[in-house]
Chains A and B, each alone.
Chain A
Amino acid sequence: MAYAAPIVETQDANAPVTSRTGLARFMRRICAEMGAQRYMLVQPSVERGPKSVSIITSNWVFDALEDLGSEGIARIIESGVAVSAGARARPLLAASATFLTAEERRALRDHGHIETHCRRLVADGVNVYALFSSETPGAISGAALSRAHMKCGYALVQFFAATGGRASADPLSERERECLMWVSEGKTTDEVALILGVSSNTVNSYIAHAIQKFRASNRAMAIATAIRSGII
């Protein structure tokens, strides 16, 4: 079965990435360069609660997305297999991903994601993960992958700048963010109230709102969510 048949790109490769189609075209090009068939750019979605993601662009087949679901994808990007820029490639093999359920592993394999590289990108302060998969283990070239990693970051900066959307990066108000930031620095409610010049009740209400927005169960979890998503 031919997965992504080589697409003849008529568009100028030098053009900046300013639209969704431009981003998809760019992703197809770098996939071809490194020998990957499937790509996904995805971010953890703090708005929709823990274990949920929002996909920026992807050429995964519908069934693969359905089978893994938001939770399965969230588990992949949070599992610690994600590699940062400049670090050595560490592929995730569908067969041995113990943090996934047996069914999720089977889904990955059946849909041709035998080997998946998960890369952690930062695009102007926003955390995004790039997944590149191949149906043949070892087919993805390490040097090309490392370059693609950098280019994805650059392309996302252009994409976010042109579309004005940093997607769902930060659902908090400035005050809520400030409160969480001080709490994460070890300050008590009373201390935060003093720092911000508001009453303790107000601080507690800001924090309660933040907890609600993150669908967290308590302060510690809200702080953790905010740090993980790069908000504070």
Chain B
Amino acid sequence: MLSLVSSSQPSATSNDEGEARSLIDAVSMCRNIAGRIGAESFSLFFTAVHGEARRLVPVFDETFPGVSPVTRRLSGPDTTDFVRLVSTTTCPLWWRGNGAPTFLDAQARVWTREVAPSLTKQSGIAFPVANDRRRLGAIIFTGNEMKLDEELLCDTHAECFDLFAQVAKLREQECNAQRPMSKRELECLRLTANGLTSDEIATALGLSVHTANQYLTNSTQKLNAMNRIHAVAKALRSGMIA
């Protein structure tokens, strides 16, 4: 799985699975989604949280590896209210460009929220997304020729979630070349999260207390954590344990 050679071999099923092996795959998947809703451009963002402040950090757009003016505008400093909204809601947000028509049908409008049109010249729709590891983001499509009904809205949003999860995973793989956790280490972390003490973990797993403690120390180091509780929090947030 982790071998570096095997990934260069395109497998016949990879396209059917719709799995992004690189950011380039993800961009073309996003382009397909944009095509289905008639959007001219698209941008994918991570939401960065600094205390109370939120900012959209661009990952890619239709000009990949460049950065489009729309993306630059959306990740700029004067979109604070919009970013706050998009990072706290689950419903898609949309706006109309100058003189552009409403592009959602009546039923789709029930589930979405219209916001002030000052963000982009053209009409746009922002899909808030998140992955299992509580990483937040948004995928934003713009264009004056978009058309969405309820069905397409839901399908598109679901695809956005899937795409975002894959992009977040790619990013994570890039960032942490950490040592993999062993099964025992994960088991000890999971039991710690469930409130067991080292003694109880040792009994549950049939180990000595010292071994249980050693597993926990190892996992704390591997996760680059300050202490056990920090390690449990990191493992939960990164989805290593449920």
Q: Please choose the segment from A101-109, A133-141, A222-230 that sits at the chain B interface, where 4 or more of its residues have CB less than 8 A away.
A: A222-230
In the assembly, what is the distance between CA of A112 and CA of B15, in Å?
A: 37
B227 neighbours in A (Cβ, 8 Å): 186, 188
- Inter-subunit contact A224/B232 (CB<8 Å): yes
Inter-chain contacts of A183 with B (CB < 8 A) = 229
Annotate B147-176 by CB proximity to A: 1 below 8 A, 0 otherwise. 000110111011111111100000000000
- Does B50 reach chain A (CB closer than 8 Å)? no
Contact B90 A87 (CB under 8 A): no
Give the contact stretch, choosing among B4-12, B67-75, B130-138. B130-138
| A147 part of interface (Cβ distance < 8 Å) | yes
- Cβ of B229 and Cβ of A146 under 8 Å apart? no
**Contacting residues, chain B, for A219 (C-beta < 8 A):** 229
In the bound complex, residues from chain B placing their C-beta under 8 Å from that of A125 are 88
By size class, the interface of chain B is 35 or more
Asked if B192 is at the interface of the complex by the 8 Å CB criterion, the answer is: yes
For A156, the chain B residues whose CB sits under 8 A away are 90
Contact A185 B195 (CB under 8 A): no
B130 touches A147 (CB 8 A): no
Residue-wise, chain A 192-232 has the 8 Å CB interface mask toward B (1 for contact) of: 00000000000000000000000011111101100110100
Residues A84 and B88 in contact, CB atoms below 8 Å apart: no
In the bound complex, CA of A157 to CA of B128 (Å): 13
| Contact B90–A153 (Cβ < 8 Å) | yes
Residue from A50, A185, A221 within 8 A of B230 (CB atoms): A185
Q: B202: CB under 8 A from chain A?
A: no
CB distance from A157 to the nearest CB of B (A): 5
Interface: A123 (CB within 8 A): yes
Residue interface bits A84-127, CB-to-B below 8 A is 1, else 0: 11110000000000000000000000000000000010111100
Contact (Cβ within 8 A) B195 A217: yes
Cα distance A183–B234 in the bound complex, in angstroms: 12
Q: Are B195 and A220 in contact (CB under 8 A)?
A: yes
Q: Please tell me if the beta carbons of A230 and B242 are within 8 angstroms of each other in the complex.
A: no
- Is the beta-carbon distance between A87 and B237 smaller than 8 angstroms? no
Knowing A157-B89, A217-B195, the reply to whether A150 touches B233 (Cβ < 8 A) is no
Using a CB–CB cutoff of 8 Å, the interface residues on chain A facing chain B are 13-16, 50, 78, 80, 84-87, 120, 122-125, 143, 146-147, 149-151, 153-157, 183-188, 216-221, 223-224, 227-228, 230
